Amino acid sequence: MKPAISRPDLLRRLPRKRLSLLRELGTLADERGVSLYLVGGVVRDLLVKRKNFDLDVTVEGDGVAFARLVADRYGAGLAIFERFATGRLVLANGIKLDIASTRRESYSKPAALPDVEKALLKEDLYRRDFTINAMAIQLNAAHFGHLHDPYEGQCDLKAKTIRVLHEGSFVDDPTRIFRAIRFAQRFGFHLESETARLLEVAAATDLIAQLSGPRLCNEILLLFSEPQPQRSLEQLAKLNLLRFLHPDLRYAGTSKQIVRSLPKALAWWTRCCGQHFLDRPLLHLMALLDGVEQPVVEAVVARLTLSHEQAMRVRAGGKRLKVVVRGLRGARRLRPSKVCRLLNGLPEEALVLCLARAGGQAATVARVKQRIFDYATTFRTISTALRGDDLLRLGIEPGPPVGRMLALLLEAKLDGVVKGKAGERAFVRARLAGAS
């Protein structure tokens, strides 16, 4: 292996608490007589002066035993993944740390999870996805800060190049196809010519179809987590990779228009309603699915094995929103109760999609924005002072009539027809009198 280069300046770019922890871990490794290295994306990001607080370290030795030692020393929570000889720790100060054994990997078949066995650092770095992610910084005291770069990752960083380490990389792990797109878009890098050829060959096969739902879902949502996911979508479409979500899925027409409108819609939402949680990666998946038939939506939900919560949000999009936006764009005067009927039950992501769909004259767009703003910040927080028990005491029959009266009462309150608890009682009594 090429001699390490002393780069003490790199680790000093980390926050003080993380730097202090790495020094302590290096000392602990010295006590145990093992070599310890910081590895992964954090090394790459230190070189390009990009913030990354992930701490992944690897041990030339028994990583699980070292993880247990660290957990005991720091009173940290620990999860062990025996198959990959890895421990995941959460320290009391909230710092998360992954500790693994240096290892080589072999694949029983394409797209399968790897079989692993212990190996030296050079082999561990060779199993990684790209040269820019195949560097390590030693943490042992005598060599603290030494950079190991056997595959010239620094050169590729300087040349803004994504390069695989061997020709079977995309076949062994097709998720690297998505990672190559993601890193290229994130850093503004290009694919090295042979890497680009290998990626196109792998993309033209059915290798990705062999990925499990959770693995495929993770890569898709990570792509959509990037600052400009529309660029990644362009690449997915260019390489015909959307077929692995559904054969009929296309990035064109309405979905492309809505994705391109999302940045402005998101900026408005963040400025005006930013206190509400928003799942941005899922929002872009919903935008991609906008306008497709419900069976396609259901097939994508199943293929990605989305969680119940994710599936609920995705199903709230689609063609229903076309009707919702038409209603929001309509009459100049729209009662608050009508706005609520249109928007009730929609998650935040669907509200942002409504904004992205609202293109047209400035006055019309402003009208839609105002109605969504009123709903998100005011209307949906309003409730009746009276409850079900109150209505029963006023003479409403038990069962569905109670729910119907509460709905009528809420609409009246939203529209300013009733005010205060006394006004609500008077409204209910008047309805009862009119029905008798």
Q: If one looks up domain 169-244 in CATH, what number appears? A: 1.10.110.30
What is the C-alpha to C-alpha distance for residues 62 and 85, in angstroms, rounded to an integer?
A: 8
What is the C-alpha to C-alpha distance for residues 284 and 224, in angstroms, rounded to an integer?
A: 6
> Using only C-alpha atoms, what is the Rg of the chain?
28
Closest CA to 306 of 317, 319, 291, 322: 317
pLDDT beyond 70 at 227: yes
* pLDDT confidence tier of residue 253, bands split at 50, 70 and 90: confident
Res 1: pLDDT: 67
CATH fold of 245-381, please? cca-adding enzyme, domain 2 (1.10.3090)
Closest CA to 257 of 221, 240, 233: 233
Res 434: pLDDT: 76
Cβ atoms < 10 Å from Cβ of 310: 18
Whole-number percent of the chain with pLDDT over 90: 73
What is the C-alpha to C-alpha distance for residues 110 and 92, in angstroms, rounded to an integer?
A: 40
Res 140: pLDDT: 96
Res 4: pLDDT: 75
pLDDT beyond 60 at 405: yes
Residue spans per domain, the chain: 5-156, 169-244, 245-381, 388-435
Superfamily of domain 5-156: Beta Polymerase, domain 2 (3.30.460.10)
Name which residue leads in pLDDT, 147 or 119. 147
φ/ψ (deg, to 5) at 116: -125, 150
Q: What are the pLDDT digits (tens) for 302-354?
A: 999 999 999 999 999 877 788 899 999 887 789 999 999 999 999 999 999 99
Cβ–Cβ under 8 Å, residues 376 and 349: no
Q: What are the pLDDT digits (tens) for 377-402?
A: 999 999 999 898 988 998 888 999 88
What is the C-alpha to C-alpha distance for residues 76 and 91, in angstroms, rounded to an integer?
A: 4
First-to-last alpha carbon distance for the chain, in angstroms, is 92
Q: Listing from the earlier edge strand, what are the strands of the sheet with 146-148?
A: 5-6, 146-148, 136-138, 35-39, 55-60, 96-101, 86-90, 77-81
* pLDDT confidence tier of residue 254, bands split at 50, 70 and 90: confident
Q: What is the rounded average pLDDT of the residues 139-160?
A: 96
Q: What are the pLDDT digits (tens) for 23-69?
A: 999 999 999 999 999 999 999 999 999 998 889 999 998 999 999 99
Q: What is the rounded average pLDDT of the residues 249-262?
A: 90
Closest CA to 59 of 79, 73, 39, 80: 39
Give me the DSSP letters along 74-97: HT-EEEEEGGGTEEEEE-TTS-EE
Residue with tokens 């005010």: 419
pLDDT beyond 80 at 128: yes
Res 104: pLDDT: 85
Q: What share of the chain is helix, strand, coil (3-state, %, to 5)?
A: 55, 10, 30
What is the C-alpha to C-alpha distance for residues 293 and 424, in angstroms, rounded to an integer?
A: 43
Cβ–Cβ under 8 Å, residues 421 and 387: no
Q: What are the pLDDT digits (tens) for 165-218?
A: 999 999 999 999 999 999 999 999 999 999 999 999 999 999 999 999 999 999
Res 435: pLDDT: 66
* pLDDT confidence tier of residue 277, bands split at 50, 70 and 90: confident
What is the C-alpha to C-alpha distance for residues 105 and 123, in angstroms, rounded to an integer?
A: 9
pLDDT beyond 60 at 436: no
Res 31: pLDDT: 95
pLDDT beyond 70 at 131: yes
Closest CA to 266 of 258, 184, 328: 258
DSSP letter, residue 62: -
Res 8: pLDDT: 73
